[in-house]
Structure 1
Amino acid sequence: MTSNMTSDVAQPLFRAPGTGPALDVLGVTHSYKAMASETGQQFSIWESIVPPGRGAPAHTHSREDEAFYVLSGEVLMDVEGAADPLRLGPGAFVFAPRHRRHGYRNAGTDTARLLVFAMPGAGLDRMFAAFAELAKQNGRMPPIQSVAPIAEQHGVVIHSSAD
């Protein structure tokens, strides 16, 4: 039996520890294990290295689901539908489906590490690259109000603390 291969079919991928593309996304390092362009646009997976006090502001995706697995450290995560913020330590897992507001921050004193999955991932890969480029151009972390329009172009709404 032969298969019909097309250019968008993913090829096997291996990354050694400490290798792969990395982006600075609002003060959180994303170390990519697989980008959507490498998985036939099916998903992206990255390790988020989250300094104390940093994280992702409350936001809602219209195109992607996200899943978070805590490797080390501690994060507080708000997910629409949970009664209270979730305090997550190593081994904890959260699925945040599209159209559900969520956000997190490192609540501990040590750097937290999360494995984050986005399905599909192409829009987020491009959005995070645009955030990183804006920070590089400005020489500092961009304010939320300057990244919100970029996020909206990728189907993501960043909520203000008043939302």
Structure 2
Amino acid sequence: MNPAATSWAFEAQDLERLDALLGAFLDGSQARCALLLDRTGRLLTAAGDDAGFDRVSFASLAAADFGASDQLARLLGEREFRSLYHQGENGSMYLVDVAGHAILAALFDARTTLGRVRLKTKAVVPEFASLFAQIAARDRTVGARLEAGWLTEVEDEIDRLFAE
């Protein structure tokens, strides 16, 4: 299955864990802002200073940037690029893949360094990946139960229709 096509069904405790992980990452990295988005560009959660920009638009553009970089990687004989770094005069951003399911974006300025952001990213990405794996497993189990129940209902209804 294409992870980018995954539609997440988050429960309240999932969002709380995502927020807690993102908040801890933000504190540890000293980044200005951190965002977690899915590979389709949907903003999942964000923490920190928004600096007056539209986070939803940012998520969409960052996912497109990451997708374009994946295509560039393939052209260069790589399977993927796991991270992207963009440096500006006053701020920079570091984007990293989270197990093919999401993208962690860190926006930072001179208050921290790329090295610190990368170090904290390396620590938190496996935690995000584990949470996404748990959510995906739960969603598959729930989906299978719902599908089985739905199928039984449809079969029963067909039997009732033809019994008359």
Question: Which range, TM-score by smaller chain?
Answer: under 0.3
TM-score w.r.t. structure 2 length?
0.26
Q: Which structure has the bigger radius of gyration?
A: 2
If each structure's strand is expressed as a fraction of its own residues, which one has the higher value? 1
TM-score w.r.t. structure 1 length?
0.27
